[in-house]
Chains A and B, each alone.
Chain A
Amino acid sequence: MTLEVKNLQCIRGDRELFTDLSFQLEAKQLLMLEGKNGSGKTTLLRALCGLYEPDVGEILWHGKSIKKQDELYRRELFYLGHLNAIKPDLTVFENLRFNTQLAGGLETDDALMQALDAIGLFAFEDFPASQLSQGQKRRVALARLLLTKATLWVLDEPFVALDAAAVVLLQSIIADHVDKGGMVILTTHQEVSLIKGEVKRLSLTALTENRESLNA
């Protein structure tokens, strides 16, 4: 099980975000993506999901381009961006049910309830999502992590808006997934401690600075 990125280049407008970016991720590995604001972290994550078409380069999953696998790849992928995909007019439970069913999950209502309890939304099931706080909405979105069968998790700033207890909880969920043989790519300023498994780091800022010093 590998995710391989080869010579990736992304250009936004006339600004080059990163060039010649290559890395590889195996099972039981976690990739921490670092870089200052505007260095292209989100663009890279979106490119890895296939939401953004890189200008140059290839992304391979199990040695095959993700563009050629399409639905197969998306079945193994879980992406959570800055937006929570929560509908204010639906209840917490309805939101979670729709999002898991959309991703092809066949969980029972009990399993969904358990996930909501575990993520700290006990007794909030029938609340309209519009009445939740920012952190609670994030928790609804993160409850899907407990239900998904995807191997590759791509998380964009997952810790934003969470309180200290939720941060610890999420760290353990991520560590658990990696331990069980999953892969996680995330951007964050928080450390994730793992029991087993390996943490890789990739800094987009360093890449850009290297190139600038070479050019100079």
Chain B
Amino acid sequence: MLNVFWLLLKRDLLLALRRRSEIFTVLFFFLVVISLFPLGVGTEDKTLKQIAPGVVWIAALLASTLALDRLFSSDFSDGTLEQLALAPQSLSIMVLAKMVAHWLLTGLPLVLISPLVGLFYHLPNDSMVVMMLVLLIGTPILSMIGAIGAALTLGLRGGGVLVSLLVLPFYLPVMVYGSGAIASSMLEGLSLQPYFLLLGAFALLAIVFSPWATAAALKISLE
């Protein structure tokens, strides 16, 4: 069971390596959205600190939907998805591998580049650490929820736009608690524990249910 997980993870990473532009599109999109806000809203220190938590999460949400429609569509159109469904292994495990690959390619780069955002927005050091942590817990959830949406819209015309409309509402809780944690970290004497616990709970829930739901949706799309 683990073999097939590594097999698929390795293949997806190799494919992405051969087509690097797709990784950088997401990263640059994130950076562009982030840098648009100071230009539009103004560069006053107080304003920037106030909008930073929301801006980071909105940019992360949009950036992660950007690569979603590619998650299964190429495997679907070249017939690999049929072979995955017919392999004598659990489709959920393979789906989980694809989700992990998607996160490594689109979520992890955002986490790693987020200190730069902190500098843009004059965030204190503590808040930068909190921002990286909540992004680290939150972006995998985005990949996992997004995969369900991508599987449901597979093979539909205009699926790319549809998948954003479908999954963005489900991203809301992650955004609310993720940005809440960053905002609270800038105030004195507030505990951040509830935010981390809630985000952790969402992540666990997503790990348990999303591979199974995605696999079921893929089987419907293949019919």
Contacts and interface: CB of A to CB of B under 8 A. Distances in A.
Interface string A79-90: 101111111111
B78 A86 contact: yes
Given A102-B4, A102-B7, A90 B15 contact: yes
B50 interface: no
B79 interface: yes
B46 interface: no
A47 B127 CA distance: 55
Given A51-B85, A51-B86, 13 more contacts: A71-B88, A81-B82, A83-B78, A85-B78, A85-B82, A87-B80, A88-B78, A90-B11, A90-B14, A98-B7, A99-B83, A102-B83, A102-B87
A87 B4 contact: no
A-B complex: 9 closest residue pairs judged by Cβ atoms: A83-B79, A75-B88, A85-B79, A74-B88, A89-B18, A85-B80, A85-B83, A71-B88, A102-B87
A51 B78 contact: no
Nearest to A74: B88
A51 B222 contact: yes
B89 interface: yes
Contacts of A52: 223
A151 B216 CA distance: 27
A121 interface: no
A103 to B, nearest CB: 6
B157 interface: no
Question: Which residue, B4, B11, B85, B86, has most C-beta atoms of chain A within 10 A?
Answer: B86
Interface string B200-223: 000000000000000000000011
Main SS class of interface, A: loop
Interface range for B: 20 to 34
A161 interface: no
Given A83-B78, A83-B79, A89-B15, A49 B86 contact: yes
A101 interface: yes
A44 to B, nearest CB: 14
A86 B11 CA distance: 12
B129 interface: no
29 contacts: A51-B82, A51-B85, A51-B86, A51-B222, A71-B89, A74-B86, A77-B86, A82-B79, A83-B82, A84-B78, A85-B78, A85-B79, A85-B80, A85-B83, A86-B78, A87-B15, A89-B18, A90-B11, A90-B14, A90-B15, A90-B18, A98-B7, A99-B83, A102-B4, A102-B7, A102-B83, A103-B83, A103-B88, A104-B89
B9 to A, nearest CB: 12
Contacts, number: 69
Contacts of B79: 81-86
A94 B14 CA distance: 10
Interface of B: 3-4, 7-8, 11, 14-15, 18-19, 74, 77-80, 82-90, 222-223
A53 interface: yes
Contact of B86 (A79, A83, A89, A101): A79
Contacts of A85: 78-80, 82-83
Contact of A102 (B15, B19, B77, B84): B84
Contacts of A71: 88-90
Nearest to B76: A83
Given A85-B83, A99-B83, A102-B7, A51 B89 contact: no
A99 B86 CA distance: 11
B143 to A, nearest CB: 21
Question: Which residue, A82, A102, A103, has most C-beta atoms of chain B within 10 A?
Answer: A102
A104 B90 CA distance: 12
Contacts of A77: 86
B88 to A, nearest CB: 4
B220 to A, nearest CB: 10
B5 to A, nearest CB: 12
Interface in A27-53: 49-53
Contacts of B223: 51-53
